[in-house]
Amino acid sequence: MERLAEDSIVVGISACLLGQPVRFDGGHKRAEFCERELGQYFSFVPICPEMAIGLGVPRPSIRLVQRADGIHVESGDGTQDVTIPLQAYAEQMSGQLTHLSGYIFCAKSPSCGMERVRLYGAAGGAKVGVGLYARVLMQRLPLLPVEEDGRLNDPHLRENFVQRVFAYHDWQRLLASGLDRGKLIAFHSRYKYLLLAHHPAAYK
């Protein structure tokens, strides 16, 4: 995958949120705030895991299904199970996206939703699932700031996400320059109040 300039703040994003027609019905879910506002500060890397594993457009919609052996990702009619290829792609990408300083997922997606995705087979089809691709990335890259497009409409969540992206980018640059005691103290000084606000015990 092409790397951008070292001083760029590179953020992954679900490709449909940038208006790419990659959804199962050939549509998109353009998030104008991401494209118009955040795009002034971030260099976006658009990714659609469903397209990446060979699902074309148009295609049958997929969903999370609770089975006896765990959660699967299947087509709505149950004729296609894409759990293994989607898991493999997520594992592959988690090793290639370590340069990202953040990630914006598409809400409610069985591949990219980070929370409250409908889980079929659960009681009443409860919205308790996490998209498979998003779950693997969050597990493999636990420090990566992540958010969903819909939640960015909340000004407090939006501010929190942007702060975390800038702070994480600063940390990545610090590591790349060579970490030493002085640089670490300077970093903690810059983010003292932010760290105290999020986790006083860990900061101490």
Cβ neighbors of 39 (< 8 A, separation 6 or more) are none
pLDDT digits (tens, 9 = 90+) for 157-177: 999 999 999 999 999 999 999
Residue 3 has pLDDT above 70, yes or no: no
Average pLDDT, the chain: 91
Residue 25 to residue 68: CA distance in whole angstroms: 30
Q: CB–CB of 88/49 below 8 Å?
A: no
Give mean pLDDT, residues 73-92.
93
Q: Residues 94, 95, 100, 103: what is their CA dihedral angle, to the nearest 10 degrees?
A: 0
pLDDT digits (tens, 9 = 90+) for 4-59: 445 789 999 999 999 999 999 999 999 999 999 999 999 999 999 999 999 999 99
More confident position, 79 or 42: 42
- Predicted confidence at residue 79, as pLDDT, reads 84
User: β-strand 70-75 against 10-14: which pairing, if any?
Assistant: unpaired
- Predicted confidence at residue 199, as pLDDT, reads 79
More confident position, 200 or 134: 134
First-last CA distance in the chain: 39
Cβ neighbors of 85 (< 8 A, separation 6 or more) are 53, 54
Q: Based on C-alpha coordinates, what's the Rg of the chain?
A: 18
Dihedral pair phi/psi, residue 194, rounded to 5°: -65, -45
pLDDT digits (tens, 9 = 90+) for 118-171: 999 877 678 889 999 999 999 999 999 999 999 999 999 999 999 999 999 999
More confident position, 200 or 176: 176
- Predicted confidence at residue 196, as pLDDT, reads 84
Q: CB–CB of 57/48 below 8 Å?
A: no
Residue 120 pairs with which residues in a beta bridge? 65, 122
Residue 201 to residue 204: CA distance in whole angstroms: 5
Residue 116 has pLDDT above 60, yes or no: yes
Element (H, E) at 148: strand 146-148
Give mean pLDDT, residues 69-96.
94
Q: Which long-range contacts (CB under 8 A, 24 or more apart) does 150-159 make?
A: 150/107, 151/107, 152/31, 152/33, 152/34, 152/104, 153/33
Start-end of H helices in 13-154: 32, 49-52, 83-96, 132-140
Element (H, E) at 192: helix 192-198
